[in-house]
Amino acid sequence: MYEEKAECGHLTQLLSQLGESLDQFLAFDHPDAMSTIRHWKPVLGGDLPMEGSGIDAVLQTMCQHLIPNGSQIPNPGSTAFITTGATSVAALATLSGAVAAPQRIGLTAFNFLEQHSLNWLKQLFSLNPEMKGIYSSGGSVANLIGLGAARQWCFEKIGIDVSLTGVQKPCRIYASETSHRTIHRACAVLGLGRQSVVPIPVDDLGRISIEALRKQIEMDKKSDLLLMAIVGNAGSTDAGAIDSIEELADIAQNHDIWLHIDGAYGLPGILDPAKEAFYQGIERADSVTVDPHKWLGAPVGIGATFVRNYELLQRSFTQEAAHYLEGSFSSDSSQAQHSMDSPGIPYSDLGVELSAPSRGAVVWAIISEIGKKGLQDRICRHNAMATQLAERVKQEPKLELCLEPMLSIVCFRYVGHLQSKNNEEINQLNKRIHRQLVRNGLAMPSTTMVNDKLVIRPCFLGARTTWQHADELFKEVLTIGDELTRED
């Protein structure tokens, strides 16, 4: 009676079928999902099935209609936003976790790698050895965790356990005007309000103005506000700018303010000897975030926060005692003889997720496959591609470089013979060039605004993205720009 209908094994054969279809997808010789929508939508969008069709039929539909109509993001020519597809080893480790260690609970090999890989990341990026880390779903939650620790710390200084009683006083968080919007949202979620984030202007490389920050802090010191945190960018989202971390650390130290560094995208840039000096002072930060699902090529869903005072995380994010958490484990983990004798590190009380996948095994697999050297090669390649593209743009009179790249993001635009035209017309033209680029499907960057200029903005990030793709982008922008202006 009530027999189980789901297949729960037979992975050997199923995976070989799936693998073939995924390899075919990665060749990117299929049409874009929108051009085939009338074929796949009716197949996938059927009525709620009363009887299932069985795993073979589902897998066949996946291989025929789902996978081939996936995303352009893993396409080597895609340089939009700051996102890419997983490398093979990262995808395999993710699947392994889903099957063999579906939770980060217990004294398992997967859970061992949770902490071990965080320590590898700490070493890899020259963070303060005192720091300890925790994984979460990505930069958004990683920033929330870092700022949650900052909030706890700053209220404890005035004798308030803020995670227990709630926010009792208005706070100030200082971040450059180009800081990621997840900083503002984290402040909203933490009850501080988005308004508590004070936008500080940036200099001509996109870095926070130290002078303006000093002035703002001096002014706020005279008020009754709690000066909570300075958020520095180690790779801003639109331009890849790295704030002067050493100077931020000096200011934070002088005024007893928490220093949080958002390195979701750019922290791995420290591996490039040509960029290393930009990160000076990183070991002085109180919290640092990085997204393994960006430059390291993990599948989306892996961010990391590092803090120097780990106990603060416990006090910030404790769920306190709960019946359903009591008694299932023996209390002394040093006496453990079985993987279920102890939950291991209580990550569920150090962040905002209880159920969570094994992410450490993925990061461990990525680093194990190619080592520090392999990651370094990828990061140096992408930074050098950005530098080279910027040089070519500067030498081409029809193009304008709008910001010197600090990492692997380039902001430039087509001006052609339009220099005499107004900025709005040039913006419209570049919008059209960008649309055409994406539709051609060879080079797919995104856009951003730099000083009222709409710029074409590639971010070289993916393991599959290499010199040829930067070259194709350069040529395509010129060709499309020439074509569109000829029509004018």
Ligand X SMILES: *Cc1c(COP(=O)(O)O)cnc(C)c1O
Candidate list 264, 312, 350, 407; residue touching ligand X; CB under 6 A:
264
CB of 357 to ligand X, least distance (A): 15
Burial class (CB in 10 A: 0-12, 13-18, 19+), 293: buried
- What is the rounded CA–CA span in Å between residue 25 and residue 67? 7
Closest residue to ligand X, based on beta-carbon distance = 139
Candidate list 77, 268, 303, 357; residue touching ligand X; CB under 6 A:
303
Candidate list 80, 82, 259, 463; residue touching ligand X; CB under 6 A:
82
CB of 121 to ligand X, least distance (A): 15
Selected range binding ligand X among 11-19, 50-58, 136-144, 240-248, rule: CB under 6 A? 136-144
Six-digit token string for 303? 């961010």
Q: Which of 149, 111, 115, 152 is nearest to 132 (CA)?
A: 115
- What is the rounded CA–CA span in Å between residue 412 and residue 486? 20
Selected range binding ligand X among 6-14, 97-105, 111-119, 134-142, rule: CB under 6 A? 134-142
- What is the rounded CA–CA span in Å between residue 447 and residue 436? 13
Rule CB under 6 A: say whether 305 interacts with ligand X.
no
**Closest CB to ligand X among 258 and 265?**
265
Please say whether the beta carbons of 385 and 470 come within 8 A: yes
Rule CB under 6 A: say whether 476 interacts with ligand X.
no
Selected range binding ligand X among 138-146, 223-231, 329-337, 368-376, rule: CB under 6 A? 138-146
| Cα-based distances in Å from 333 to 176, 329, 337, 338, 469 | 44, 9, 9, 10, 51
CB of 303 to ligand X, least distance (A): 5
Rule CB under 6 A: say whether 84 interacts with ligand X.
no
The phi, psi pair for 148, rounded to 5°, reads -65, -40
- Angle (CA) 411 447 270, round 5°: 50
- What is the rounded CA–CA span in Å between residue 15 and residue 32? 25
Q: How far is CA 381 from the centre of its chain?
A: 19
The alpha helices in 285-411, defined as continuous H runs, are 310-317, 360-395
Residue 218 makes CB contacts below 8 A (sequence gap 6+) with none
Burial class (CB in 10 A: 0-12, 13-18, 19+), 63: middle
| Cα-based distances in Å from 30 to 1, 13, 58, 161, 283 | 45, 25, 21, 56, 46
Rule CB under 6 A: say whether 182 interacts with ligand X.
yes
Q: How far is CA 449 from the centre of its chain?
A: 20
Q: What does the per-residue mask of binding to ligand X show for 223-262, with x meaning CB under 6 A?
A: --------------x------------------------x
With CB under 6 A as the rule, give the number of residues binding ligand X.
Answer: 13
**Closest CB to ligand X among 138 and 445?**
138
CB of 400 to ligand X, least distance (A): 25
Selected range binding ligand X among 117-125, 137-145, 216-224, 360-368, rule: CB under 6 A? 137-145
Q: What does the per-residue mask of binding to ligand X show for 373-412, with x meaning CB under 6 A?
A: ----------------------------------------
Rule CB under 6 A: say whether 140 interacts with ligand X.
yes
CB of 176 to ligand X, least distance (A): 11
Rule CB under 6 A: say whether 291 interacts with ligand X.
yes
Q: Which residues bind ligand X (CB under 6 A)?
A: 82, 138-140, 143, 180, 182, 237, 262, 264-265, 291, 303
